[in-house]
């Protein structure tokens, strides 16, 4: 009788142990299924965060490149009939690692307005009614010593992360408009006829 009780006791403890193992495996399997359901959303937001960082880095790089190009205009290193090609070469040269050179040269839009005073200077809109960039609204005017210059650069960035366009875009069609602006008065350029030039 005692043997039967021992056998039943051992058998029931083994069954309980097997039942615990089966429950643990079932829970582990459900965790895998739950992760498989949530992983695409997790990775989409992860890539969206990365792309947001890249967009802000591109914005900062464009602003820095525009500052450097504006400094050359302000100091007279570039003066007179400045061309869009000259300005694109300067700005795209600083954005090489971020935007391919051919894409930067083709997509970068530059607007440079010249005035005699800050009160007469203004930034005209360069966006269409639907929010897209109107490249025809940009122009480049010649600048001279002591003139006020309003200088802007625009680049349309394509958002690559799927389904994140509506959260990141500021233009139609899953695009983000990078822009940089400078407003300054040109320095009095060195003129051999004027020993101490001033504005």
Beta-carbon-side half-sphere exposure of residue 149 (alpha carbons within 13 Å): 34
Would you say residue 106 lies in a domain?
yes
Place of tokens 């309980």: 16
Rounded mean pLDDT, 88-93? 94
**What are the φ/ψ torsions at residue 76 (nearest 5 degrees)?**
90, 5
Residue 57, pLDDT score = 94
Would you say residue 37 lies in a domain?
no
pLDDT at 188 over 80: yes
Comparing 143 with 31, which gets the higher pLDDT?
Answer: 143
Comparing 18 with 179, which gets the higher pLDDT?
Answer: 179
170: containing domain: 43-185
pLDDT at 136 over 80: yes
Would you say residue 109 lies in a domain?
yes
Determine contact, residues 168/159, Cβ cutoff 8 Å. Answer: yes
Task: Return the DSSP state at 140.
Answer: B
Determine contact, residues 159/176, Cβ cutoff 8 Å. Answer: yes
Would you say residue 16 lies in a domain?
no
- The number of distinct structural domains making up the chain is 1
Would you say residue 98 lies in a domain?
yes
- The two beta strands, 109-115 and 148-158, are antiparallel
Comparing 195 with 172, which gets the higher pLDDT?
Answer: 172
Would you say residue 11 lies in a domain?
no
**What are the φ/ψ torsions at residue 54 (nearest 5 degrees)?**
-65, -40
Residue 30, pLDDT score = 72
pLDDT at 98 over 70: yes
**pLDDT above 70 covers what percent of the chain?**
86
Per-residue tokens: 197: 């030039």
Residue 2, pLDDT score = 61
Residue 111, pLDDT score = 95
Residue 31, pLDDT score = 73
Rounded mean pLDDT, 186-191? 80
pTM: 0.77
Rounded mean pLDDT, 138-153? 92
Per-residue tokens: 93: 């040269």
Structure confidence by residue, pLDDT tens digits, 2-59: 666 776 677 677 777 777 776 666 555 677 778 888 889 899 889 989 999 999 999 9
Would you say residue 3 lies in a domain?
no
Rounded mean pLDDT, 113-122? 90
Sheet holding 175-185, edge to edge: 109-115, 148-158, 175-185
- CA atoms 118, 119, 121, 123: torsion sign: positive
Would you say residue 20 lies in a domain?
no
């Amino acid at each position: 009788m005692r043997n039967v009780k021992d056998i039943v006791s051992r058998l029931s403890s083994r069954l309980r142990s097997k039942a615990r193992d089966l429950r643990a495996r079932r829970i582990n399997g459900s965790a895998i299924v739950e992760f498989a359901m949530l992983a695409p959303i997790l990775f989409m937001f992860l890539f969206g965060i990365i792309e947001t960082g890249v967009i802000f880095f591109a914005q900062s790089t464009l602003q820095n490149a525009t500052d450097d190009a504006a400094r050359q205009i302000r100091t007279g290193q570039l003066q007179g009939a400045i061309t869009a090609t000259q300005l694109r070469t300067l700005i795209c040269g600083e954005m090489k690692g971020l935007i391919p050179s051919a894409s930067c040269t083709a997509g970068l839009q530059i607007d440079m307005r010249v005035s005699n005073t800050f009160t007469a200077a203004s930034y005209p809109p360069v966006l269409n009614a639907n929010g897209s960039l109107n490249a025809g609204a940009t122009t480049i005017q010649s600048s001279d010593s002591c003139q006020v210059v309003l200088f802007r650069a625009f680049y349309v960035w394509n958002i690559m992360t799927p389904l994140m366009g509506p959260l990141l875009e500021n233009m139609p069609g899953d695009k983000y408009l990078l822009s940089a602006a400078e407003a300054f008065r040109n320095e009095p350029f060195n003129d051999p006829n004027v020993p101490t030039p001033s504005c």
